[in-house]
A = this chain, B = another copy of it.
Amino acid sequence: MTKQFSGIIPPVITCFDEEGRIDEEAQREVVRFQAKHVNGFYPCGTYGSGPLMTIEERKRVAEIVVEEKGSCDVIVHVGAINTGQSVELAEHAQSIGADAVGAIPPYYYKYTSEQLLDHYRAIIRAVDLPVFLYNNPGLSGNPISAEMLATLADEGLAGVKDSAFDLVSFYMYLIKVRKPDFIFIIGTEAIAAAALDAGANGVISGLANVFPEFMASFYRTWQEGNPRKTGEHQLKVVKARSILKYGPTLTMTYAVLKMRGMNPGHPRAPYQDIPASLYERAEGELRNMGLL
């Protein structure tokens, strides 16, 4: 596979120590572990605790991931609560050699379409890198319609990472965008097979943070082109991720990496390590699935 921004792309977590500082050693270990199996990285996003970090911390993590990326693409998440911060992060990502940037709509407040369009125009103007829009209405509170996406594609947006968990709205993106080389990335492994069949380039998969080999093997199954085999594999993927949802998925991710013998540190407050009882229950079920 040589296409850019394709295959399996983990939204790599950020490793914090017990005091909540970035643990660079652990971070490099996690990136190197994933890099053996995956095709790209999406640091500083939702899984990457980007919104919980300062601008300076986000820059540092982006640098580490670029340094350790191996042959992978890196799409640095630069989405922030306001336009100025997103532009600053995008300029930094370009300066350190990232392959692209991605940005969730500004969150907390609700914005009009015109305000959202101008936000993305400012990011597109600021860098020469491909810019991805990261649609996640559940977290941003600002959904991006297919019409808005088509407008931004015409104005230079390179692609979309769609984490709405709504296959029909993803299909509408594919139908409405007119730009021929626009890049569609499905922002969850949960509906990945269907998205790939319809034209998605790749999968930004939270589960690939902990089971990169399993997700790489899912992607190879899809490439073989046997739909029923892909369907079966997809169900296994959904079953595995349903176990990761016993607690807040982000906190479960650190726990499962620990089950796998790594030392990913801890999530940042307000998140906390999961309770021991939950750890054991998830470990048992992942073992039953043959994933541990």
Contact A108 B139, beta carbon cutoff 8 Å: yes
Contacts of A198 in B (CB 8 A): 231-232, 234-235
Chain B CB count within 10 A is highest, among A194, A199, A238, A272, for A194
Q: Does A172 contact B (CB under 8 A)?
A: yes
Near B by CB (< 8 A), chain A positions 98-117 give 106-112, 114-116
Contact B108 A238, beta carbon cutoff 8 Å: no
Contact B226 A112, beta carbon cutoff 8 Å: no
Contact B139 A167, beta carbon cutoff 8 Å: no
Q: Does A279 contact B (CB under 8 A)?
A: no
Residue of B nearest to A175 (CB): B239
Contact A111 B271, beta carbon cutoff 8 Å: yes
Contacts of A190 in B (CB 8 A): 167-168, 171
Chain B CB count within 10 A is highest, among A107, A115, A171, for A171
Q: Does A118 contact B (CB under 8 A)?
A: yes
Q: Does A216 contact B (CB under 8 A)?
A: no
Complex-state Cα separation, A116 to B228, whole angstroms: 33
Contact B108 A108, beta carbon cutoff 8 Å: yes
Contact B110 A107, beta carbon cutoff 8 Å: no
Contacts of A270 in B (CB 8 A): 82-83, 106, 109, 111, 115-116, 118-119
Interface size grouping (class) on chain A: 35 or more
Q: Does A35 contact B (CB under 8 A)?
A: no
Q: What distance in Å separates the Cβ of A169 from its nearest Cβ neighbour in chain B?
A: 10
Q: List 28 A-B contacts (CB under 8 A).
A: A51-B109, A82-B268, A107-B107, A108-B139, A109-B139, A109-B248, A109-B250, A109-B270, A109-B271, A110-B248, A115-B248, A115-B271, A141-B141, A165-B166, A165-B168, A166-B166, A167-B167, A168-B190, A171-B190, A171-B235, A172-B238, A172-B242, A193-B194, A194-B194, A194-B231, A197-B227, A199-B231, A225-B226
15 further interface pairs, Cβ-Cβ under 8 Å (given A51-B108, A171-B190):
A51-B81, A52-B109, A83-B269, A83-B270, A108-B108, A112-B248, A114-B272, A118-B270, A168-B238, A174-B235, A175-B235, A175-B242, A197-B228, A198-B232, A199-B231
Closest 5 CB pairs of A and B: A194-B194, A197-B231, A83-B269, A198-B231, A171-B238
- Residues of chain A touching chain B, judged by Cβ–Cβ distance below 8 Å, are 20, 46, 51-52, 81-84, 106-112, 114-116, 118-119, 122, 139, 141, 165-168, 171-172, 174-175, 190-191, 193-194, 197-199, 222, 225-228, 230-232, 234-235, 238-239, 242, 247-248, 250, 268-272
